[in-house]
Structure 1
Amino acid sequence: MIRKAIGVAAFCLAASLQPALAQSVVKTTAGAIQGAASGGVEAFLGIPYAAPPVGDDRWREPRPARPWEGVRDGSAMGPSCQQAEAGGWGPYSAEFIAAPPFSEDCLTLNVWKPAGKVRGRLPVLVFIHGGGFGGGGSAVPLYNGGRLAARGVVVVTINYRVGVFGFLAHPQLTAESPLRSSGNYGLLDQIAALGWVRANAAAFGGDPANITVSGESAGAASVNDLMVSPLAKGLFDKAIAFSGPSMAVDVPSIEEGYAVAKTIAAKVGAASLADLRAVPPQKLVDATRYVPGESSGPARLVHVPHRDGVVLPFDPFRAGGPVVNAVPLLGGYNAAEMIDPTVRTPAQFEAAVKARYGDFGPRLLALYPHANDAEAVASNTLLARDRYMAGLLLWSQDRTRSVKQPIYAYVHDHAYPALRGGQSWGAFHSSGLPYVFGTVGIGDRTFTAADHALAKQWQDRLLAFLRTGKPSLPGRAWPPVKAGDARVMRIGDRAGMVSSVSTPARLQALRDYAASGGKLGLL
């Protein structure tokens, strides 16, 4: 049912963008590709940016895409990278989910541009999908870049290896690697894609000197990684992290990754690296399947980027570390990122707060009302929001002070329309992306003029940032984060600068918790 619904959603979106097809050919560094033009936009889909990482190339650095002769058909997206098939839950219906087919042969990207000959050079936006580093893909219906491209941008969405295929660290892989590293293949794919975009942007009317890398969730964590990776130096000029600055995803050492690889090898009966490379992909997926826990405690993701001293020299959650690409950064969170069905009573709220915050639990409980069930549920959501917004503010202030990197912080608080007949989940995780891409209107939901107005609000801000490095608009200034100012930009029905945390006392408590070693990230 999910797969069928995704197909319907994708078809409806494509139909809305393509009332009349025409053909267009662009020459890339690997060969010519034919796209489709309609509704003022041209789309070039499923373009290989690297060679297929299959067979003996599983768990190797991405190699250059193989050149092709003639004109390649660019009318269909490539498969998403190998992963477990996901079903819908809570607010997540088909248009938010990566659907089959899945394949190890997946290193492709998609490009949208305004139709016809482009005058001048347009800003380029590269989007890295989320999915906990274990799933997702560029073919998710909500990531269609046509409506944003129609406003004068070249939009690129990419696939990268996920899960065990993207983030397996193994001593034998390190030994055979030209980089003397392993466990960061997904990040290396992203770097290869950015290199491809730099080399080919002009062919699509884009400005190779004005590339913005962006991502959501794991894609935003990737953006944070790319800003500190020496291998990504000079590949982008601005950055956007949707639901991602200061996320506090664990970044294990490469040695910790080796221990995980040993467990996986034993689980699938692989006595050597050659045996591991011969394991069928679905067997590896089944052996490493991750089921997200719906609890108040932080999630632990296993297959994630590693601190290897080469691709990723340190945990970018450390705001004061050396930043290779200290480009202007726009980043923030949605107002209801956390969905926690485990807290429904005052006792459950108290237990969850004490479990997460330890000695700071009583201080926080005194600041968040929870005398009855309704207060407990509301305070649980608000405390989570205050936690990651405080983390965003403090991380941004630290980064701005230590690296002089301009950071523009936001909170998106518009409630996404509920599924027809279902409950509202507010501004849940990833619900801001349809407004960014302009893909509001798909799915079994009732959209209003307010949703379309918010899409314009988001895109106006985005376009200003892509063009100038600043998201301010005439009469609507958006100042960067600075010391002594606890405000962020609210994007929603009542836009404007607002306090990042609900009260000063709560901000101070969370600041003290962070100073004691506690993490204020999303997870």
Structure 2
Amino acid sequence: MKIISSLLSLIFLFVFIPQAYSQSNVEVNTSCGIVQGNYDQKSDLSIFLGVPYAKPPVDELRWKAPQNLDPWKGVKKTKQFGPSAVQENVFGDMVYRSNGKSEDCLYLNIWTPDVDPDKKMAVLVYFYGGGFVAGDGSEPRYDGASLAQKGIITVTVNYRLNIFGFLAHPELTEESAYNASGNYGLLDQNAAIKWVYENITHFGGDPERISIGGESAGSISVSMQMASPLSKDMLAGAIGESGAAINPALPPVRLEEAEKIGEDFVMQTGYTFQELRNLPTDSIFKIYNQSGRFGFPAVIDDYFLPKSLPEIFSNKEQAQVPLLVGWNSAEMIAEAFLQDNNMTKAKYTARMKETFPDKWKQAIELYPVKTNGDVRLAATDMASDRFISYSTWKWADLHANHSDQPVYRYFFKRIKPSPDDNPVDTSVGAPHASEIEYFLGNLNGADNANLSEDDFSISENIQRYLVNFVKTGNPNGNELLKWPSIKSSEDKTPVLLMDTVFKVEDSEIEARYHFLDTHYQNDK
């Protein structure tokens, strides 16, 4: 019996104890107090989840700029994701690991290889997409572990959304110290960048090497943080995946217009503004949902944003930092342009005439079709450009022509295999947001048996480019294919094509974007 007891003790020591201690406490002192995260032996990372970066924007702080945290006593445990911003999953593809939903949502998450202040590692602060109405930093596709394991600190940030993050109103402007309203979600992002700038040294980071990145609304956010006088001096680089705050992709509006939108919204609720602001969270959100509004616009408020992005970049007033930017090959479906599934030349021509009544022939030359079989691809290109590709192009073009910093442009073409239980026809190209898991290293073979070695190899190469860029401002190195930067006033624009085989080719579609530049009057 003693022999059996001894064997059981050894089994416990060698099997059960390592599992029990796969995570251990790690503590870091921040400007407001000590936070305790987990050191994860499996990933060899220290992970801090749900770290507060500003006071909860609740009660009297609802619809106000984020406020600095008060110091706390003792140790604050940061081992689970904080609440997501109040929202509905309007896109259907978002999976959260957050601790519920709340207006109390100003938390960030940190994955770091080492908490030694002497390490001075480069940092990537990443903003989620979701049209400024949905999204959360806890989404598995935004998990920061894979990039952090390659030698940088990765941070994801929650920020206010929809009515709670972007409502402007004359009464809010009047009571504001900076004489403006709206942009609360963007000011949250700025507060998070500031918190990282002031505290990341304690997590092993270098405050002088903070790059920001994001996809869709997150990319649009990056373009505005680059343009904002509040953020630009804290940035060392910027990464944009499909989106910039340039017409027609969620451009900011003048304060007077934003206030009028907010004033009309409140009037239609039947409440006075003061009555509305005193309602419980759920009541306000229910009223917002019933209104049918899809969020509220960002604001040119002479505080966070003094001008439109084309004006700021043309005046060289943006962050003068390297930019890595691009979009996917099928950002929007053909039906969005055709307004139905009639894939015929006749329908395509009719829509071109409606959209560009004075220049429809030129438009068809730039997006040509010879047979009915060409319509889907041409209409996809047009829908994608009008949705988000053109505005992203304009951002890259503005920075290349009004900065001495390099711009690296990519075109993501990989069509992600669909799971067997969810077949999707994506044969035309890579749809919007499909690059996220490749960029952040979060492809999950367990969820999709159809992923191949090619998919993981593509992801690995992209991550190597990104980590090089965050570390140095240049994505090249590590025996990767040379990725040339765009030079201003060049006749040819080199683009890195991301697919099974990576290639660099000169873009042959620049004329499309110059055409849309004139159409949207962003060339003035």
Work out whether the TM-score is over 0.5: yes
Displacement after TM superposition at 1:357 (Å): 3.1
Q: Give the counterpart letter for 2:468 in structure 1.
A: A
Query: 1:83-94 maps to which residues of 2 (within 5 A)?
Result: 83-86=87-90, 88=92, 92=93, 94=94
Displacement after TM superposition at 1:124 (Å): 0.5
Query: 1:280-359 maps to which residues of 2 (within 5 A)?
Result: 280-289=280-289, 302-318=295-311, 319-341=313-335, 342-346=340-344, 347-359=346-358
* Structure 2 unpaired stretches of 5+: 1-18
Cα pair distance change 1:291/1:236, threshold 3 Å: farther
Aligned to 1:13: none
Cα pair distance change 1:55/1:242, threshold 3 Å: same
Cα pair distance change 1:333/1:67, threshold 3 Å: same
Larger Rg: 1 or 2? 2
Aligned to 2:165: 166
Displacement after TM superposition at 1:514 (Å): 2.2
Displacement after TM superposition at 1:125 (Å): 0.5
Cα pair distance change 1:317/1:334, threshold 3 Å: farther
Q: Give the counterpart letter for 1:309 in structure 2.
A: D
Give yes or no for the alignment of 1:476 onto 2:481: yes
Displacement after TM superposition at 1:501 (Å): 4.0
Q: Distance in 1 between matches of 2:397 and 2:251?
A: 21
SS of aligned partner of 2:402 = helix
SS of aligned partner of 2:320 = coil
Q: Distance in 1 between matches of 2:408 and 2:32?
A: 37
Aligned to 2:251: 250
Cα pair distance change 1:291/1:155, threshold 3 Å: farther
Q: Distance in 2 between matches of 1:392 and 1:33?
A: 38
TM-score norm. by structure 2 comes to 0.86
Once the two structures are overlaid, the 10-residue window that deviates more, 129-138 or 275-284, is 275-284
Q: Distance in 2 between matches of 1:238 and 1:116?
A: 22
Q: Distance in 1 between matches of 2:294 and 2:354?
A: 19
Give yes or no for the alignment of 1:215 onto 2:214: yes
Displacement after TM superposition at 1:323 (Å): 2.2
Q: Give the counterpart letter for 1:326 in structure 2.
A: Q
Aligned to 1:14: none
Displacement after TM superposition at 1:18 (Å): 11
Query: 1:156-195 maps to which residues of 2 (within 5 A)?
Result: 156-195=155-194
Aligned to 1:423: 424
**Candidates 497, 507, 511, aligned match of 1:500:** 507
Once the two structures are overlaid, the 10-residue window that deviates more, 243-252 or 283-292, is 283-292
Conserved 8 A contact 2:240-2:325: yes
Cα pair distance change 1:475/1:41, threshold 3 Å: closer
Aligned to 1:6: none
Cα pair distance change 1:87/1:184, threshold 3 Å: closer
SS of aligned partner of 2:27 = strand
Aligned to 1:466: 470
Conserved 8 A contact 2:152-2:471: no
* Structure 1 unpaired stretches of 5+: 1-16, 293-299
Once the two structures are overlaid, the 10-residue window that deviates more, 174-183 or 369-378, is 369-378
Q: Distance in 2 between matches of 1:114 and 1:260?
A: 46
Aligned to 1:32: 34
Query: 1:392-407 maps to which residues of 2 (within 5 A)?
Result: 392-393=392-393, 395-407=395-407
Aligned to 2:460: 456
Q: Give the counterpart letter for 2:456 in structure 1.
A: H
Q: Distance in 1 between matches of 2:36 and 2:99?
A: 24
Aligned to 2:493: 486
Q: Percent of pairs identical after alignment?
A: 32
Q: Distance in 2 between matches of 1:345 and 1:519?
A: 31
Aligned to 1:440: 443
Cα pair distance change 1:169/1:389, threshold 3 Å: closer
* Aligned-pair Cα RMSD in Å: 2.7
Q: Distance in 1 between matches of 2:264 and 2:24?
A: 52
Q: Give the counterpart letter for 2:511 in structure 1.
A: Q
Once the two structures are overlaid, the 10-residue window that deviates more, 47-56 or 382-391, is 382-391
Conserved 8 A contact 1:413-1:491: yes
Cα deviation code 1:68-123 (max 9, x no counterpart): 221111111011111123352xxx3x54x687721100000000111564762110
Query: 1:134-149 maps to which residues of 2 (within 5 A)?
Result: 134-149=133-148
Conserved 8 A contact 1:49-1:108: yes
Displacement after TM superposition at 1:367 (Å): 4.7
**Candidates 495, 514, 517, aligned match of 2:517:** 514
Cα deviation code 1:230-255 (max 9, x no counterpart): 11142211111111247532311111
